[in-house]
Amino acid sequence: MAKEINNDTIAKFENDLNNHPVFNVASHAAQENGIYKASQNLQTKIDLDPIFSIEIDTGKPADQKQSGRCWMFSALNTMRHPLQKKFKLKDFELSQNYTNFWDKFEKSNWFFENVIATADKDLGDRKVSFLFATPQQDGGQWDMLCGIIEKYGIVPKSVYPETANATNSSALNDTLNTLLRKDGLELRRLVNAGKSEDEVQARKEEMLNDVFRVLAISLGVPPKKFNFEYRDDDHNYHIDKDITPKEFFDKYVGMDLANHISTINAPTSDKPFHKVFSVEYLGNVEGGRQVRHLNLKVDEMKDLIIKQLKSGEVVWFGSNVVKDSERRAGLLDTNLYRRDQLFDVDFSMSKADKLDSGESMMDHAMVITGVDIVDGKPTKWKIENSWGEKPGFKGYFVMSDSWFDSFVYQAVINKDILPEDLKKAYDKGKDNPIQLLPWDPMGALAFKY
């Protein structure tokens, strides 16, 4: 039987509060400065000085501005770094808007196909509601970007630059989602009215034509061929004429996308280690690359990341960036705020409990470019963000190893460095991954900051 709060209980709590040794000081500090400032641990700034024993020079960070394309910016950053070095192109960027266009176009078709497939279910069904809640958005996954590049290639940012609707995406997302919801309901009605598959697909194609027009007006028409013209850092002139986006990727980027796989650290009871998982309804390219995650123990993931950094290759990773972070200072540390000391309350939770309860989930992708190893153990990590040069150390952040343990959930690893047992585990499960529900914290709405 439920029990209500009564006056005797409240009086007991007030008496406990008044007798608490730090109540007056703590309440004044919190009410005057706010919880985070009042509980900030200044030692973090000393512990997380930006000095690293292993470090890869990656140059000027990019800036996703007011959009949720961190996953895309970070992935393209991992691809541009070798290009910058090989072709002597300081601060060169690949076009994030180009992949953004095709991602939104493919996500629209992905939404339509899932709407058709679930047309026999009630609109109140949780999975149908999930689809219509956000038909498309800025977020995504490593495998989704690979699917776009494998189909459409990539171009330099100078060839297909950012637009107002790319850098501040809220109006485009709102406009596109309104159109998709309207069209999605019509597709459901056509299916339930007994229209043939050919008739439904013909109407879907007309809808995609409208989507293409909205994207082309908002973002520009993506190039089919272009001239790649530039001067390198030695002021030598180069031009590559009439090159296609796929030819550009093969010639100038040349990354073996098929050999880079997503690993996760999700220590929840429903996700055994060394198994491969996918997330229902998470994707973009129909018939393209499927989202797959190989679940690893946290120390296994760290060892692989360090091995990859030592080989000279940076690491794309996913985390819960809003937790225990200071954006302006560029610090990520579980000891950054001591709310336990401010309130004399135990806030500790295991990583598994954070995931299971919704306390934590992946919300941001960045790039690991360095690590500081002391006595054989990592103590802090160098992070390239995609928020421009103002935050942190000219756009770079420092992450404590304890923050890694608590809030890092994903890392893309070159398959060549996997030990044989993990290669076998991935190969065994990749073609028939365990399906997670659409709202699972390892996928849900993917990355958004």
pLDDT at 4: 94
Q: What are the structural domain ranges in the chain?
A: 48-443
Helical residues (DSSP H) of 118-196, grouped into ranges: 126-133, 142-152, 164-167, 170-192
pLDDT in tens, 137-158: 999 999 999 999 999 999 999 9
With beta carbons less than 8 A apart as the criterion, state whether 212 and 92 touch. Answer: no
pLDDT at 21: 85
Dihedral in degrees, nearest 10, Cα atoms 233, 234, 240, 243: -20
Look at phi and psi of residue 367 and say left if phi exceeds 0, alpha if psi is from -120 to 50, else beta: beta
Averaged over 202-217, what is the pLDDT? 98
Banded pLDDT at 400 (limits 50, 70, 90): very high
pLDDT at 22: 83
Averaged over 212-222, what is the pLDDT? 98
How far is the C-alpha of 20 from the C-alpha of 17, rounded, in Å?
A: 5
Distance (Å) of CA 183 to CA 39, 47, 140, 142, 204: 50, 54, 22, 28, 8
Candidate list 70, 77, 97, 265, residue with the active-site label: 70
Averaged over 240-244, what is the pLDDT? 98
Record the tokens describing residue 210, joined without a space. 């409208």
Is residue 227's pLDDT more than 60? Answer: yes
Domain 48-443 class, CATH top level: alpha beta
Banded pLDDT at 251 (limits 50, 70, 90): very high
What is the H or E stretch that residue 422 is in? helix 420-429
pLDDT in tens, 93-120: 999 999 999 999 999 999 999 999 999 9
Is residue 449's pLDDT more than 70? Answer: no
pLDDT at 443: 79
* Nearest CA-CA partner of 62 in 85, 86, 81, 83: 81
Candidate list 81, 260, 293, 364, residue with the active-site label: 364
Q: What is the mean pLDDT of the chain?
A: 95
Averaged over 385-398, what is the pLDDT? 96
How does DSSP assign 102-139, residue by residue?
HHHHHHHHHHHHHHHHTTTS-TTSHHHHHHHH-S--S-
How far is the C-alpha of 48 from the C-alpha of 417, rounded, in Å?
A: 29
Averaged over 48-58, what is the pLDDT? 95
Q: Is 79 exposed, middle or buried (0-12, 13-18, 19+ CB in 10 A)?
A: buried
DSSP 249: I
| Cα dihedral sign, 281-282-284-286 | negative
Banded pLDDT at 444 (limits 50, 70, 90): low
Q: What are phi and psi of 165, to 5 degrees?
A: -80, -15
Helix then strand then coil, in percent of the chain rounded to 5, is: 45, 20, 40
Helix axes 142-152, 70-87, angle to 10 degrees: 60
Q: Is 105 exposed, middle or buried (0-12, 13-18, 19+ CB in 10 A)?
A: buried
Distance (Å) of CA 297 to CA 268, 273, 294, 429, 444: 11, 7, 10, 17, 21
pLDDT in tens, 252-296: 999 999 999 999 999 999 999 999 999 999 999 999 999 999 999
Candidate list 100, 274, 385, 414, residue with the active-site label: 385
Q: Annotated catalytic, 146?
A: no
pLDDT at 107: 98
pLDDT at 305: 98
Encoded amino acid at 252, one letter? Y
Helical residues (DSSP H) of 385-419, grouped into ranges: 401-407
With beta carbons less than 8 A apart as the criterion, state whether 149 and 103 touch. Answer: no
413 has which bridge partners? 261
Averaged over 61-76, what is the pLDDT? 95
